[in-house]
């Protein structure tokens, strides 16, 4: 009897946990699927399920020049911010990763702090500083602001990759007479490259999607895609936005698939 009670008890636990997990996974994945399906509607509303299917809203997207303009701006700013984040972030990660000193710990906390501090407060602060020194809002101010909030991803992933590097490799290379720069180029860089790429990828995605910093640092001439979409949605529920969302979802899935191949992204984020 006791054994049976035990198995029933174990079963009830596993059943409850599995059911909640499956519900949670459905809640995570459902919204993207719903948007994807609605974006192919032939109707004028966001009704689900759609009355019929067509590509009309994707065709509409082709002529939406305001969205094209905003997308181009977002892409340019994201590329510059990612590049700057990689250059500054990788150098900083090399300096702080193996150093046990207090200053290295403090710098690490400083470089990570944009991840937890409210980005909107930083956006306002940056706007006030730029206007104080007489720098008007421009793509440059956007790139600077985005770099501050994106660089933590590069630093974190590079530090993680460096932590797994065998120090003996560097010592043997030095013993064999290689210069530090040569060792860096031929040994360190190839080994930490997947970590850098993973960090750069997340930095790029978060810049492309950034709203709180862009909100303060952009103007009509530097319209950004997420803000354009947000303002369109505030006004009316446009099915064109569903088609654009469809494009973004498919692009994200494709990029994640490539990154999983190149860098093993999924293992990287759970270790």
Does position 258 bind another protein by CB under 8 A? no
Does position 164 bind another protein by CB under 8 A? no
Contact pattern for another protein over residues 1 through 20, marking x by CB under 8 A = -----x--xx-xxx--xx-x
Which one of 64, 96, 160, 200 is in contact with another protein (CB under 8 A)?
96
CA geometry: angle at 216 spanning 210 and 217, to 5°?
A: 80
Q: Which of 51-59, 64-72, 128-136, 191-199 is the region at the interface with another protein (rule: CB under 8 A)?
A: 128-136
Does position 46 bind another protein by CB under 8 A? yes
d(CA 264, CA 157): 12
Which one of 205, 222, 223, 240 is in contact with another protein (CB under 8 A)?
205
Q: Are 89 and 150 in contact (CB under 8 A)?
A: no
- Exposed e or buried b for every residue in 187-223, given b needs 16+ CB within 10 A? bbeeebebbbbbbbbbbbbbbbebebbbbbbbeeebb
Min dist. Cβ of residue 79 to another protein (A)? 17
Which one of 59, 91, 163, 221 is in contact with another protein (CB under 8 A)?
91
Min dist. Cβ of residue 244 to another protein (A)? 8
Does position 31 bind another protein by CB under 8 A? yes
Which one of 71, 81, 145, 158 is in contact with another protein (CB under 8 A)?
145
Report the interhelical angle of 102-112 vs 139-163 (nearest 10°).
130
Min dist. Cβ of residue 228 to another protein (A)? 9
Q: Are 175 and 83 in contact (CB under 8 A)?
A: no
Instruction: Say whether the peptide bond before residue 49 is cis (omega within 30 degrees of 0).
Output: yes
Which one of 1, 102, 132, 181 is in contact with another protein (CB under 8 A)?
132
Min dist. Cβ of residue 62 to another protein (A)? 19
Report the interhelical angle of 225-235 vs 65-97 (nearest 10°).
130
Size of the site for another protein (CB under 8 A): 101
Q: Are 89 and 114 in contact (CB under 8 A)?
A: no
């Amino acid at each position: 009897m006791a054994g049976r009670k035990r198995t029933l008890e174990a079963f009830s636990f596993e059943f409850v946990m599995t059911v909640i997990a499956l519900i949670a996974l459905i809640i995570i994945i459902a919204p993207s699927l719903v948007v994807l399906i609605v974006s192919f509607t032939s109707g004028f509303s966001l009704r689900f399920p759609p009355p019929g299917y067509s590509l009309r809203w994707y065709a509409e997207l082709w002529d939406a020049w305001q969205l094209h303009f905003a997308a181009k701006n977002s892409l340019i700013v994201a590329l510059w911010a990612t590049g700057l984040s990689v250059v500054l972030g990788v150098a900083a990660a090399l300096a702080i990763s193996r150093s046990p000193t207090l200053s290295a710990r403090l710098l690490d906390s400083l470089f990570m702090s944009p991840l937890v501090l409210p980005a909107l407060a930083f956006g306002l602060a940056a706007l006030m500083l730029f206007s104080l020194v007489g720098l008007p809002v421009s793509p440059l101010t956007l790139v600077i602001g985005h770099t501050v909030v994106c660089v933590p991803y590069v630093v974190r992933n590079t530090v993680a990759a460096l932590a797994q590097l065998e120090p003996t490799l560097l010592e043997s290379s030095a013993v064999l007479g290689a210069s530090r720069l040569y060792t860096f180029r031929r040994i360190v860089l190839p080994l930490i490259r997947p970590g850098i790429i993973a960090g750069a990828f997340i930095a790029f995605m978060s810049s492309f999607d950034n709203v709180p910093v862009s909100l303060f640092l952009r103007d009509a001439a530097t319209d950004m895609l997420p803000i354009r979409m947000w303002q369109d949605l505030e006004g009316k529920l446009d099915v064109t936005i569903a088609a654009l969302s469809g494009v973004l979802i498919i692009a994200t899935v494709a990029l994640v698939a490539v990154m999983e191949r190149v860098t093993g992204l999924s293992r990287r984020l759970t270790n």
